[in-house]
Amino acid sequence: MLERIAAAKRALPDFENPPAVETLMGVHFAPIEKWKSPHFGLFWASIKGDYPRVETQPPVIQPAAVEGVLSRMQSPLEFPLRCWFFNQDQTRLIQVQSNLFLHNWRRTARGEKYLHYDDLRPHFEREWHQFRSFLQQESLGPVKASTCEVTYVNHIDRGSGWETFADLSKVFPNWSPATSHNVLPSPELVAINASYPLKDVEGHLQISAQPAVRQQDAKETIQLTVTARCKPSSSSDDDLYRGLDEARKWVVLGFTDFTSPRMHEMWGRKI
């Protein structure tokens, strides 16, 4: 069985130098009713050795949950928050809010080694285990997981496979600059949003290609964000990890299918 899983993993497309600048994986769950602001600090104390820096952020709100969150925002005593806990070299991040636990990895320099999912999942498992232990220790109740999420954020810089937005068909084969009567000139901006149902599992793959400027170096890029969200069979660790593996599989397949063989060659496709 393990051999079959390993063979399936090897069968996924793989790249020598993929354009990924960030990956994140995590679990969405029903809001933990007893979670209060001080719990952020208590949890931080338990991971501070590995994640010594903290920042508070506004919460990520899923569109379906806006109403519920807004009603909580109107409560005079409790304001929804998200906390970011960073590791020392600012390459890994844990995000926690009352209904969300995410682990991010980012590439801080262009030449830095790309960390594959297989390198990162053990980190996630360890931090997730710590989070669950914390919830148990503080009697905050069990996690009722609703969604496993894996997201890859890719930057395809201008000059690396495209020069103008009319070139985007060379990057994304499903897009074309052609118009019915050639009245329109070449586009000055192009953005693509697509959503696909996942096969054999309840969930969706969302792909977004947005023209952007990277703040770190003011370089123009197309941010290609590929997110797979799927429903786990249960809230057990095994089922959550299986859900993450499934989501990751679809992210990789979706990324490869959405981009062109010409770009795959540029990124050094191995499989």
| List of residues contacting another protein (CB under 8 A) | 21-22, 24, 26, 57-61, 73-74, 76-77, 79, 82, 93, 95, 100, 102, 104, 106, 151, 153, 155, 188-189, 191, 210-218, 220-221, 223, 225
Residue 93 CB, shortest distance to another protein, in Å, is 6
- If the CB atoms of residues 104 and 256 are measured against another protein, the closer one turns out to be 104
The residue written with tokens 């830095």 in the block is 112
Rounded CA-CA distance 149/187 in Å is: 33
Residue 166 CB, shortest distance to another protein, in Å, is 16
Residue 169 CB, shortest distance to another protein, in Å, is 19
Strand order in the sheet with 53-57: 53-57, 82-86, 92-97, 100-106, 20-29, 145-157, 220-230
Non-local CB neighbours of 47 within 8 Å, separated by 6+ positions: 85, 94, 127, 130
- If the CB atoms of residues 157 and 257 are measured against another protein, the closer one turns out to be 157
- If the CB atoms of residues 95 and 259 are measured against another protein, the closer one turns out to be 95
- If the CB atoms of residues 98 and 223 are measured against another protein, the closer one turns out to be 223
Chain-centroid distance, C-alpha 86:
16
Residue 181 CB, shortest distance to another protein, in Å, is 25
> Is the separation of the CB atoms in 191 and 121 below 8 Å?
no
